[in-house]
Structure 1
Amino acid sequence: MGKILKILYVNYSLNTGGIETLILELSRRIDKSRFSPAVCVFESGGRLQAEFVKLGVPVYVLQKGRGTDCCLPLRLAKLIKKEKFDLVHTHNQAAWLYGAIAAMLSGTRIVHTNHTTADYHNYHARRGHLIERILSLFTQKITTVAKSVAEYMINMEGISARKIEVIYNGVKTELYEQDFGGAKQKEELNLDDNHFIIGNVARLVANKDHRTLISAFKIISGRMPEARLVIAGDGPLKNELQFQIEELGLRDAVKLLGNRRDIPELLKIFNLFALSSLREGFPVVLLEAMAAGKPVVSSDVDGNAELVINDETGLIVPSGNPQALAEAIERLAGDRQKAEIMGINGRKRVKTLFSFEKMINGYERIYIGFTSAF
Structure 2
Amino acid sequence: MSAGGAERVVVKLAELLSEDHDCTILISEAGAREYDVCVPVVECAFAPEPLRRSIESIAPDVILDHFHWDIDHIQLMAEMADEGWKIVITEHNSYFYPLFQHHRERKAKYADHFEKRYEAYAKFAAVTVLNQDALDMFGKHLSNVRLIQNPVSYHTNGTADHGSAKVLNISHFRKEAKRLDLLYEAFGQLAERNAQARLAIIGTYDHLRDNAYRKRFGIEPSRIQCVGRSLLVAEHYNSSAVFALTSEIEGQPMVLLEAALHCLPQVVFDIPGMADQVIDGETGFIVPFGDVEAFADRLDLLLRDRGRARDMGFAARAHVLDRFAPTKIAAEWNTLLAEVAGGCVPSAVQGTKPGTICPSRETAFTDFWARVAAGQETTPPKVSYLVPVHGTEALLGRCLDSIRSQDMDSFECIVVDDGSPGDTEYAFREAVGGDPRFKLIRHSRNRGLYTARSTAAEAAEGLFLSHVDSDDYLHPAFGGTMLAEAFARGSEIVECNAVEIEVDGRPIRFSSLPPCEMDRAEASDAFFNRSIRNVVWNKLYLRDLWWRHPQHNTIERGITITEDMLRNSYAFSDVNRFSKIPDCLYYYCRRPTSVVRGGGMASLLAKLEQIEISYAESSLGVARISGNDRHMSLLEQSRLEDRLWYIEEYLRRTPWPQVQIELDALPGDRGQELHFTFWSIAQKLKTEHRLEDMRAFAAHRTEAWIWEKTRAERLQTRLTRIATLSAE
Q: Distance in 1 between matches of 2:29 and 2:23?
A: 19
- 2:213 counterpart of 1:244: yes
1:67 is matched with: none
Q: Distance in 2 between matches of 1:50 and 1:219?
A: 38
- 2:64 counterpart of 1:89: yes
From 254, 263, 268, the counterpart of 1:298: 268
2:152 is matched with: 171
2:394 is matched with: none
For residues 262-294 of structure 1, what are the alpha-carbon distances to aligned partners after superposition, in whole Å with 9 as ceiling and x for unaligned?
333321111000111111222221111112111
1:288 is matched with: 258
From 125, 132, 141, the counterpart of 1:147: 132
2:96 is matched with: 118
Deviation, structure 1 residue 20: 1.1
- 2:30 counterpart of 1:44: yes
Instruction: Find the residue that maps to 1:297 and give its secondary structure.
Output: strand
Q: Distance in 2 between matches of 1:154 and 1:168?
A: 16
Q: Distance in 2 between matches of 1:328 and 1:180?
A: 21
> Counterpart of 2:96 in structure 1: which amino acid?
A
Gap regions ≥5 residues in structure 2: 344-728
- 2:338 counterpart of 1:338: no
From 103, 112, 135, the counterpart of 2:80: 103
Q: Distance in 1 between matches of 2:329 and 2:187?
A: 35
Deviation, structure 1 residue 36: 2.1
Q: Distance in 2 between matches of 1:293 and 1:195?
A: 13
Deviation, structure 1 residue 41: 3.3
Deviation, structure 1 residue 50: 4.0
Deviation, structure 1 residue 349: 1.1
Q: Distance in 1 between matches of 2:207 and 2:62?
A: 38
2:50 is matched with: 75
1:60 is matched with: 43
Q: 1:59 to 1:225 in 2, by over 3 A?
A: farther
> Counterpart of 2:168 in structure 1: which amino acid?
G
> Counterpart of 1:36 in structure 2: which amino acid?
D
Q: 1:19 to 1:83 in 2, by over 3 A?
A: same
2:11 is matched with: 24
- 2:315 counterpart of 1:349: no
For residues 311-354 of structure 1, what are the alpha-carbon distances to aligned partners after superposition, in whole Å with 9 as ceiling and x for unaligned?
11111111222211111101111211111111111111112211
Q: Distance in 1 between matches of 2:110 and 2:56?
A: 33
Q: 1:264 to 1:327 in 2, by over 3 A?
A: same
TM-score, length of structure 1 as denominator length = 0.80
Larger deviation: 215-224 or 245-254? 245-254
> Counterpart of 2:8 in structure 1: which amino acid?
T
Deviation, structure 1 residue 243: 2.7
- 2:286 counterpart of 1:316: yes
> Counterpart of 2:113 in structure 1: which amino acid?
G
> Counterpart of 1:78 in structure 2: which amino acid?
R
- Decide whether the 8 Å contact of 1:274 with 1:297 is kept in 2: yes
TM-score, length of structure 2 as denominator length = 0.43
- 2:297 counterpart of 1:327: yes
Q: 1:261 to 1:359 in 2, by over 3 A?
A: farther
For residues 175-233 of structure 1, what are the alpha-carbon distances to aligned partners after superposition, in whole Å with 9 as ceiling and x for unaligned?
22x33799xxxxxxxxxx98511001123311111110111111111222221111112
- Decide whether the 8 Å contact of 1:73 with 1:102 is kept in 2: no
Instruction: Find the residue that maps to 1:35 and give its secondary structure.
Output: coil
Q: 1:93 to 1:260 in 2, by over 3 A?
A: same
> Counterpart of 1:29 in structure 2: which amino acid?
L
For residues 16-41 of structure 1, what are the alpha-carbon distances to aligned partners after superposition, in whole Å with 9 as ceiling and x for unaligned?
22211110101122233x32222223
Q: Distance in 2 between matches of 1:132 and 1:105?
A: 15
- Decide whether the 8 Å contact of 2:237 with 2:259 is kept in 1: yes
> Counterpart of 2:62 in structure 1: which amino acid?
L
2:196 is matched with: 226
Q: 1:97 to 1:181 in 2, by over 3 A?
A: closer
- Decide whether the 8 Å contact of 2:269 with 2:288 is kept in 1: yes
- The alignment-based identity, stated in percent, is 22
> Counterpart of 2:148 in structure 1: which amino acid?
I
Q: 1:329 to 1:124 in 2, by over 3 A?
A: farther
Larger deviation: 291-300 or 243-252? 243-252
- 2:232 counterpart of 1:262: yes
Q: Distance in 2 between matches of 1:131 and 1:100?
A: 14
1:138 is matched with: 123
Q: Distance in 1 between matches of 2:301 and 2:256?
A: 19
- Decide whether the 8 Å contact of 2:61 with 2:341 is kept in 1: no
Instruction: Find the residue that maps to 1:55 and give its secondary structure.
Output: coil
Instruction: Find the residue that maps to 1:143 and give its secondary structure.
Output: strand
Larger deviation: 127-136 or 116-125? 116-125
Q: Distance in 1 between matches of 2:48 and 2:21?
A: 24
Instruction: Find the residue that maps to 2:128 and give its secondary structure.
Output: strand
RMSD value, Cα: 2.7
Deviation, structure 1 residue 56: 4.3
- 2:329 counterpart of 1:359: yes
> Counterpart of 1:145 in structure 2: which amino acid?
L
Q: Distance in 1 between matches of 2:235 and 2:29?
A: 30
- Decide whether the 8 Å contact of 2:129 with 2:146 is kept in 1: yes
- 2:185 counterpart of 1:200: no
Instruction: Find the residue that maps to 1:200 and give its secondary structure.
Output: strand
Q: Distance in 1 between matches of 2:57 and 2:153?
A: 35
For residues 69-125 of structure 1, what are the alpha-carbon distances to aligned partners after superposition, in whole Å with 9 as ceiling and x for unaligned?
xxx222211111112222211124228515514634764210001122226485765
Q: Distance in 2 between matches of 1:364 and 1:203?
A: 34
Report which structure shows greater RCO (CA 8 Å, sep ≥6): 1
Q: Distance in 2 between matches of 1:364 and 1:238?
A: 46
Q: Distance in 2 between matches of 1:197 and 1:213?
A: 14
Aligned residues: 331
1:4 is matched with: none
- Computing the radius of gyration from Cα coordinates, the structure with the larger value is 2
Deviation, structure 1 residue 357: 1.6
Q: 1:86 to 1:286 in 2, by over 3 A?
A: same
Q: Distance in 2 between matches of 1:317 and 1:221?
A: 19
